[in-house]
Amino acid sequence: MQAHPIHRVPGMRMTRIALAICGLAGVIGGAAAQQAVQPENVVTVTGTSIRGVAAVGSDVTTIRREDIAATGATTSTELLRSVPEMNNFSASGINNGQNQANFVDQPAIHGIGVGNGGGGLTLVLLDGHRLPGAGINQTAPDAGAIPTSILERVEVMADGGSAIYGSDAVAGVINFVPRKSFDGAETKVRFGSADGYRTKNFSHLVGHKWDGGHALAAIERSENTALDGFARPYAVADQRRWGGADARSTSCTPGTATVGGVNYPIVAGGPLGPGAATRCETNRGNDLYPAQHRDQAYFSLRQDVGESTELYASFLYSGRRLDSRVSGSGVTSGGLSLTVPASSPFYLPLAGAEAGAPQSVTYNPAADFGAAFTNRITTSTRSLVAGANVQLPNDWSAKVEFNYGIEKDDVNNHGINQALAISAAANGTFNPTGIGAQTSAGVLSQIGNFVTRYNARHTLKEAQVKLDGPLFQMGGGKARAALGAGTRREEMEGLTSAGPVGGDFTAAPYTSIGTRDDDFIFGELYFPVLGEANGIPGVRKLDLSVAARHDRYSDVGNTTNPKVGATWTVADGAKVRFSAGRSFHAPSLADAPSAIDSRAIRADCLPGQHLGCSTAGPSDYAVWLAGGNNLKPEKANTYSMGLDLGPELLGGFKVGLTYFRIDYKDVITFPTFGPLFNPIGAYDRYRTLRPAGATDAQWRSTVEPLLAGLRHDGLIYPDVGLPLAIYDLRRQNFADETIQGIDYNVEYRLRNSAGQWNFGIAGTRMLKFDQNVPGVAETIELLNTNYSVRDKVRLQAGLVRGAFSAALFANHVGSYRNTGVTPVQRVSSFNTVDGHFAWNFKDGAVLGNTTLAIDVTNLFDRNPPVFYTGGSILGFDAAAANPLGRVISASLTKRW
C-alpha cells in the first residue's frame, strides 16, 4: 500500500466520472434495444457481484420474513439480537444514550471491531448499497434506521468481503433486502409491556404490481419508554451484597470536606470531625435503557422502459429521538469538587483543621436540580438510490447506480455550568455543602441552565457501473464474470458548543472533520469446473471463484484486495467450502485528528497515582490527550472452511459447520490506561514526562506542540501552569489480533399427525481472540472475557398446525471473565427463553387475511448476571445481557 495521498479536484472528478458512467449506460442501452429485460427471479446474492450464483466458498445465513416475524422485533437492531454471530445477541446494547460520542449500536459479526474507533468492521447494506454514517465519533451506519416492515429477508455473510465491497467488510456483511413484489396493503400494530417498560409499533405498507413495474410505499412508527435504574435492584454501585466492592460515589450532598488531605464527612446538625468520605448511591437515576421514538418511511419504484431496460429508485427516511436520564458524578451531570474559601458564608467549622485553610467540598447536583438531567439525541437519515438494469446481448447485463445519503445528528447533554459553580463557590454566592443557608434561586437557575451540544453531518455520494454475464461453457455450466468501476465520496462535518439552554448554537458554521474520495474497480470470475456433465466419483460438482478490487483513496493511498473461493459437492447433500482473502478498513473520518472529541483533558496528578507524577504538589496536574489521530488503515487476512450436509444425505436434517480465522493487523483502538500506570517500554511512545531538572522554557517547548489546537476540558496550559505529564490516549494503530472460531447450525423437519415440526440449533464458539501489542512479549488473551464471550447459542422448536403456529427459542450466552475489576470476576451465563405464538385467519368478513401474534422474550423473567463495573451503575453487562426482563407483546397484522 502506498502511504502518500492523492491530490485531485473532487468536484470536477465526480462530474467526469458521472458523465462517463452515463455515457457508457447510453451505449449499453442502444446496443441492447431488442433484448428482454432481466427476469425478476435472477438475483444477486450477498457476497458476490454475479447474478444467479451463490457466493462461492462463503456461507450466507438468510433470515427469512417468517423468521423476522417470529423474533417479535420492532427495529432492525432488535432483529439482529436473535443472531448468535452478532455482538449484541441477547443483549440490550451498550449505547444507552449517555455517551454523546457513540450512541448507535454498531452491528459487529463475532464482536470484531467493537470499540475499535469510529468505523465498523461489519459492512451494513440496504439492498446492496451503503447507507450514510451516523454518530458524533463514529461513521458506521445505524441499522435501526431500516424499518422491519419493508424487509423480505436479511442476508448475513460472516466472511471477509473487501474483494467485492471494499472497505469495512473485514468481519463480514449484513444486507437488508426489502420486498420487491408485494401487491396489496398490510397494516400492523404491536404493543409490548414489561415491568417498568412499554413499547409500541405501527406500520402500513402499500404495494402495487403492474405489467412491467412495481411500487412500494411504507410508513412505520415505533417507540418505547425508558427503563430507569430504580426499576432493577441490581443497578447499584454498592455491590457488596453480591460479593463485590462498595463503589458508591463520594460526590454527595451533603458530601465531604477535605483540608490538608484529611476528610471530614459533612453531617447536618452534627460536629464535623475527621472520618471516612461520605458515600452515596447517586447513579440510580440513570436510565438502563433509553426512551426512543422512530418515524420511518420507505418508497421504491421499478419500471421497465422498452424491452431491455429497467429503471429503479428508492428513498429511505428515518427520524429518531432518544431521551436518556443521566445522573451521578460524571462530567455531563456535574458532580465535582469545589473550593470554599474562609471568606465564604458557607465555610465549615472542621475540628482539628487548619484555621482559614481553603476547604475542598464534594458536590452532587441532585440536591439542587433533581436526581437526573435528561439528555436528548435526535437523528435523521435520508438515503436516495437511483439506477438502471440493462439487458445486453448474449445474456450480459449492465447496472448503473447512483447513491446519495445524508445523516444529521444533534446531541444535547444537559448539566450544570461547572465554571460558574466553581466561581460562585469561590466568591461565596453558592453553597455546595448541603447544610446551612441555601443558595439563592437566581444563582441556582444560572448554574443549572447549561447544555453541551454536539452536531454532526455525514454525506455519502456514490456512482458505479457493473457488467456481468456468461463467458464460455464448462463442465458444470457457463463460466461467468462481473466487472465494474465507480467512485465514492464521504464527508463528515461537526460542531461543538456549550452555553445556556435555548441558545442558538447552530448559527455557527460546521467545520469539516474530513473528506474522503475513493475511486475503485473490481472484477469477479466464476468457474463451474465440474457438474452433472463431467462429474467424477467423489466430486459431483466443483465451483471456483476469483475476485479482486482495487481502491484508490485520496487520503490513505491505494489498496488491492483479492479473494478466492471453492465449493466442492462431494455427493448429493454433502458440500465442502473454502475461501481465503484479504480485507481492508480505511480509518473512519471520525478518527481523524480533527475529530469532534479531540481534546486535552485535565487530570489529577497525585504522587504515586501516575508515572511522572512522583514530585506532584497540590496544584500540579497531568494532561490526557483524547480523540482522533493520524492513523493507518487496518488490514486483515481472512480464511474460512465449511461443511454442509443436507437432507438428501441425512433425511430431515441439515447441518452446517464453518471454521473461520482472521489475522487482523494495525488494529485501531485505545491504548487503555497503560501509559499512566504500566512502566513497560511499549507504552513509552504514549507518554511524555517532564525530565528531571528541565527548565520551564525547555519543558514548554515540548508541551506547546502537543497541546496546539486542542480544546481544553478543564484548566490547562496556557490558562494555568505547565503540566507534569502528558499521556496520549487518543485512538492508535495499537495492536494486531488473531481471531478464530466455529459457526454451526443444525435443522430438522418432521411432519406427523400433529403438524409440521421444526427443530434447530445455531451458535458460535470462539476458539481464539489474541491481541499482540508491539513491544510487549506476552500475548493478551481476550477470549472468554467481557471483550469476547466464548459461546453463544440459540435453540428452536416450532410447530405449524393449520392456522396456528408456535415456536420456542432458548438463548445461551456463556460465562466469561470480567477483567475490568480486581480480582477478576467470573460472570455467570445468561440463559433465556423466548416464545412466538400466531394464529393466521385466512377467511372471514372481519378476520380474513389477519394474523394475531403473541410474543414473549425472556419468558421466565431472568435477571442478567451480576457484573461488577468498578463504579458504573449498571450492575450488568449491556454487551452480553438485557435488563428489560420478561416482555410480553401482542400484534395484529391485516393484509388488505
Q: Residue 798: is its pLDDT beyond 80?
A: yes
What whole-number percentage of the chain has pLDDT above 70? 91
Q: What pLDDT, on a 0 to 100 scale, did the predictor assign at position 30?
A: 43
Span of 120-134, 679-693, 789-803 with lowest mean pLDDT? 679-693
Is 294 in contact with 318 (CB distance < 8 Å)? yes
Q: Residue 871: is its pLDDT beyond 70?
A: no
Q: Is 225 helix (H, G, I), strand (E, B) or coil?
A: coil
280-338 per-position pLDDT tens digit: 887 677 888 999 999 999 999 999 999 899 999 999 999 999 998 887 655 445 667 88
317: CB partners within 8 A, 6+ apart:
295, 296, 297, 298, 380, 381, 382
What average pLDDT score do residues 208-212 get? 95
Local confidence band at 599 (pLDDT 50, 70, 90 cut-offs):
confident
Q: Residue 751: is its pLDDT beyond 70?
A: yes
Cα–Cα distance between 436 and 874 in angstroms, integer?
A: 34
Residue 105 or residue 545, greater confidence: 545
Q: Residue 239: is its pLDDT beyond 80?
A: no
Q: Residue 617: is its pLDDT beyond 90?
A: no
Q: What pLDDT, on a 0 to 100 scale, did the predictor assign at position 6?
A: 34
Q: What pLDDT, on a 0 to 100 scale, did the predictor assign at position 229?
A: 85
Q: What pLDDT, on a 0 to 100 scale, did the predictor assign at position 183?
A: 95
Span of 325-329, 336-340, 424-428, 628-632 with lowest mean pLDDT? 325-329
Q: What is the 8-class DSSP label of residue 682?
A: G
Residue 334 or residue 817, greater confidence: 817
Is 617 in contact with 602 (CB distance < 8 Å)? no
Span of 227-231, 278-282, 776-780 with lowest mean pLDDT? 278-282
Q: What pLDDT, on a 0 to 100 scale, did the predictor assign at position 99?
A: 56
Q: What pLDDT, on a 0 to 100 scale, did the predictor assign at position 272?
A: 86
What whole-number percentage of the chain has pLDDT above 90? 60
Q: Residue 750: is its pLDDT beyond 80?
A: yes
641-663 per-position pLDDT tens digit: 999 999 999 988 999 999 999 99
Q: What pLDDT, on a 0 to 100 scale, did the predictor assign at position 26?
A: 46
Q: Directed axis angle between helix 441-448 and helix 418-426, to 10°? A: 150
Q: Residue 101: is its pLDDT beyond 70?
A: no
- Write the DSSP assignment of 519-538 as a string of letters: EEEEEEEEEEEE-TTT-BTT
Q: Residue 245: is its pLDDT beyond 80?
A: no
Residue 854 or residue 776, greater confidence: 854
Is 290 in contact with 399 (CB distance < 8 Å)? no
Q: Residue 14: is its pLDDT beyond 70?
A: no
Of all helices (H) and strands (E), which one includes residue 233? none
Residue 337 or residue 736, greater confidence: 736
Q: What is the 8-class DSSP label of residue 688?
A: E
176: CB partners within 8 A, 6+ apart:
76, 124, 125, 126, 127, 143, 146, 151, 154
Cβ-count burial 408-433 (b if 16+ within 10 Å, e if not): bbbbbbbbbbbebbbebbbeebbbbb
What average pLDDT score do residues 102-119 get? 81
Q: Residue 726: is its pLDDT beyond 80?
A: yes
Local confidence band at 98 (pLDDT 50, 70, 90 cut-offs):
low
Question: How many CB atoms are located within 10 Å of the residue 89 CB?
Answer: 23
Query: Whole-number mean pLDDT of the chain?
Result: 88
Handedness of CA 246, 252, 256, 257 (dihedral sign): positive
Sheet of strand 336-340: strand arrangement = 262-265, 256-259, 359-363, 336-340
Handedness of CA 693, 694, 695, 696 (dihedral sign): negative
Considering the entire predicted model, what is its pTM? 0.90
278-293 per-position pLDDT tens digit: 888 876 778 889 999 9
